[in-house]
């Protein structure tokens, strides 16, 4: 059993579960810190572990360009290369090809594109994406997909979905069964019938888990929640559900109630690195001048390394003077916040109190800046 | 006793000693990592300690501009502000005023200048520098001085030295005796008679230790060594001698033989942060493409965190992709290298073998790039 649901919440669709992967176990719902280029920006694997991270995400597209797959293969795979011995999930490259590269041509076979760094021409196909991900050696790999932008016309989304389903089948066929497991990706933009079609056809092919893709690409938040809830509800309950690339703390807490098990997002690392930190009361732009003479920690209640030892005034000073230690402290604080939040959510589900937990969190948390 | 010489080398002027300061003991010869703006760039105080750093340096000029002294006073001093509980030495601001600021006017009273950030007008006097350094709360503070550029005319250097000696007296008179100790700074550019005059007059005033300033400012290395050796030889043997702002590993090993006890330099942190690392065989530009497929550590013999867990290929990848973890690993490696080198030097002196140690190091070490 790769995935087991340990406890289902009474009043919501939230569930607590466990993934048993090649490089270790992961308690769900989980948040996966993003290590796009084979490093979670600014921090070490040891720090990730001490923060409670059980799984991280990395990117086929970026690693394929730099340093190149053959280098990582020679290093003994991504785990050895980056000195992280826990579970890794790699994205297929589909999302990045469509969001970062200059597209040249999409065909049934795959995508030809110019990369965003050197402008060199590349081809990525489902077979190639799977082969690369197998070479990287991640615990969970993703099917190759097209992620339509928002908004997309119904007709375009239909055609795109057919291609993605064809690529899902080819991805599945290219995948060698082994300790590495393959997830399919549900697309269909904001169209419920296409989301349903996507889920049904992917289930027909059969995957170890399912990603919900194509959300958090510019649509209103209410629409994102609607589609995420609808799609999560269609997915088989015995398989892990991974909502891709989203989001803020309130997004996570809301969407755990839909039955989502896995999240990844660059928000905590990117925000933290740039001087915006999360608290139970909302986000705080600690790099702002208003904190220059504020000698309290970011959050009095927080037990992270940054809050135990440093003040807002000091952290603001680090950002103000371009000191990299500031980027580190912001990142550590935010990842601590996210991972502790997930732990709290799991505990609330285990105690049958997720609805209360969610309500309390969302009542305290303000989307605007906390001072 | 603030300083005691524990062992003198037979064949050179090297000596092993101990400084007993308000925040702890320091074994000499020592290297002080530079934390210009109240942080040793990219790393934490805990990391500094694990590297074996016993004392760090910070800067009056930079901290006075950002965040401003009153903020640090309210934080409870520099130790509390930056979360470093070991010894700190602060520079007086003299060197920075002359090297970074737009000068407006030098008078007997002090210097009026425009800072290099906002261009605001400031005045720094010996009294003010000492007052600021006392507010910062460093263990060792420095007299306010003028550091003449290289080359400087004899006449200019004479006048400058007279001013520096006047300021040294005023610095001494402004200093309140207490746990914080004050060092004088020897100037005199490359002129032996002026160096001698400087030492004699400073000794007349009487300081807890002596900085050798005005070197490593562009003069040829042989001249730097000549003046450093000459000046160190003039200084009282029972007081610590601090060669300011220099240098590379071979500089340190050479100048320990002159009887220098303390060093600081931005070289290990700045080089490391920018992808150049030190090895016993010379420096290595690990960010270069030639290391992209090199799966060995920076230095097989090195026990630092970077060398225990990462390859040249990975570290090169981090620099190539702008990942901050690369800046951290380069910094950690270089500080480890410097601090271990100082430990080796102390041990060699204790064993009466410094000349052999120095010879072996310099024979292995090449100033050019090691591959």
Instruction: Look at the alpha carbons of A199, A201, A206, A212 in this order and tell me if their dihedral is positive or negative.
Output: negative
pTM of the model: 0.98
Strand A111-114 relative to strand A209-212: parallel, antiparallel, unpaired?
unpaired
Distances from the Cα of A230 to the Cα of A226, A246, B330, angstroms: 6, 16, 48
Structure tokens that stand for B266 in this block = 């931005």
Q: Say how many CA atoms lie within 13 Å of B271 toward its Cβ.
A: 23
Closest-CA distance of chain A to residue B35, Å: 10
User: Do B81 and A328 count as a contact with CB atoms less than 8 A apart?
Assistant: no
Work out the percent of chain A whose per-residue pLDDT is above 90.
95
Q: pLDDT tens digits, residue range B61-80? A: 999 999 999 999 999 999 99
DSSP state of B23: T
Segments of chain B with pLDDT less than 70 = 371
Q: pLDDT tens digits, residue range A182-224? A: 999 999 999 999 999 999 999 999 999 999 999 999 999 999 9
Chain B stretch 208-247, residues whose beta carbon is closer than 8 A to a beta carbon of chain A: none
Residues 6+ apart with CB under 8 A from A199: A186, A210, A231, A234, A235
Nearest CA in chain B to A65: B321
Distances from the Cα of B309 to the Cα of A35, B109, B235, B295, angstroms: 17, 54, 44, 11
For chain B, the average pLDDT equals 96
Characterise A201 by phi-psi region: left (phi > 0), alpha (psi -120 to 50), beta (else).
alpha
Helices (H) then strands (E): counts for chain A: 15, 16
| Cβ-based neighbour number of residue B345 at 10 Å | 25
A193 is known as an active-site residue: no
ipTM greater than cut 0.85: yes
Per-residue pLDDT, averaged over A27-36, amounts to 98
Distances from the Cα of A71 to the Cα of A65, A91, B129, B295, angstroms: 11, 19, 53, 9
Q: pLDDT tens digits, residue range B252-271? A: 999 999 999 999 999 999 99
A20's enclosing H/E stretch is: strand A15-21
Q: pLDDT tens digits, residue range A318-333? A: 999 999 999 999 999 9
Residue B371 is predicted with a pLDDT of: 62
For chain A, the average pLDDT equals 96
User: Do A328 and B324 count as a contact with CB atoms less than 8 A apart?
Assistant: yes
Cα three-residue angle B16-B21-B24, rounded to 5 degrees: 90
Q: pLDDT tens digits, residue range A113-125? A: 999 999 999 999 9
Residues 6+ apart with CB under 8 A from B76: none
User: Do B82 and A314 count as a contact with CB atoms less than 8 A apart?
Assistant: yes
Residues 6+ apart with CB under 8 A from A54: A24, A25, A26, A27, A30, A86, A87
A164/A28 Cα distance (integer angstroms): 27
A370/A290 Cα distance (integer angstroms): 12
- Is the Cβ of B328 closer than 8 Å to some Cβ of chain A? yes
A181/B36 Cα distance (integer angstroms): 49
Closest-CA distance of chain B to residue A248, Å: 23
Instruction: Kindly tell me if the per-residue pLDDT of A371 is higher than 70.
Output: no
- Chain B residues in contact with A43 by the CB 8 A cut-off are 325
Closest-CA distance of chain A to residue B43, Å: 6
Q: Which domains does chain A have, with CATH numbers?
A: 3-260 (3.20.20.105), 272-364 (no CATH)
B91 is known as an active-site residue: yes
């Amino acid at each position: 059993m790769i995935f087991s649901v340990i406890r289902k919440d009474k009043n919501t669709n939230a569930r607590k579960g466990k993934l048993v992967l090649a490089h270790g176990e992961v308690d769900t719902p989980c948040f996966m810190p993003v290590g796009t280029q084979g490093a979670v920006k600014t921090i070490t694997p040891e720090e990730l572990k001490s923060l409670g991270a059980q799984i991280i995400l990395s990117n086929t597209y970026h690693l394929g360009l730099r340093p190149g797959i053959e280098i990582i293969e020679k290093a003994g795979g991504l785990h050895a290369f980056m000195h992280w011995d826990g579970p890794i999930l790699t994205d297929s490259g589909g999302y990045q090809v469509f969001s970062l590269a200059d597209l040249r041509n999409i065909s049934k076979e795959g995508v030809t594109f110019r990369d965003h760094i050197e402008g060199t021409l590349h081809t990525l196909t489902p077979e190639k994406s799977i082969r690369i991900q197998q070479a990287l050696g991640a615990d969970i790999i993703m099917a190759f997909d097209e992620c339509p932008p928002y908004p997309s016309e119904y007709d375009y989304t239909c055609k795109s979905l057919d291609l993605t389903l064809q690529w899902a089948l080819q991805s599945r066929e290219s995948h060698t069964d082994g300790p590495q497991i393959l997830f399919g990706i549900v697309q269909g933009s904001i169209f419920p019938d296409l989301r349903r079609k996507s889920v049904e056809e992917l289930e027909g092919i059969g995957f170890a888990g399912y990603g919900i893709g194509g959300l958090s690409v510019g649509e209103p938040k209410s629409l994102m929640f609607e589609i995420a809830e609808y799609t999560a509800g269609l997915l088989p309950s015995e398989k892990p559900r991974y909502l891709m690339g989203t989001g803020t703390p309130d997004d996570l807490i809301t969407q755990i109630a839909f039955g989502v098990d896995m999240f990844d997002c660059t928000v905590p690392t990117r925000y933290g690195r740039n001087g915006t930190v999360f608290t139970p009361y909302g986000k705080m732009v600690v790099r702002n001048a208003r904190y220059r003479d504020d000698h309290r920690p970011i959050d009095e209640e927080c037990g992270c390394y940054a809050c135990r030892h440093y003040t807002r005034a000091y952290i603001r000073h680090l950002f103000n003077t371009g000191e990299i230690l500031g980027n580190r402290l912001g990142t550590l604080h935010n990842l601590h916040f996210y991972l502790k939040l997930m732990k709290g959510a799991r505990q609330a589900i285990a105690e049958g109190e997720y609805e209360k937990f969610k309500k309390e969190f969302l009542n305290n948390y303000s989307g605007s800046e906390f001072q």
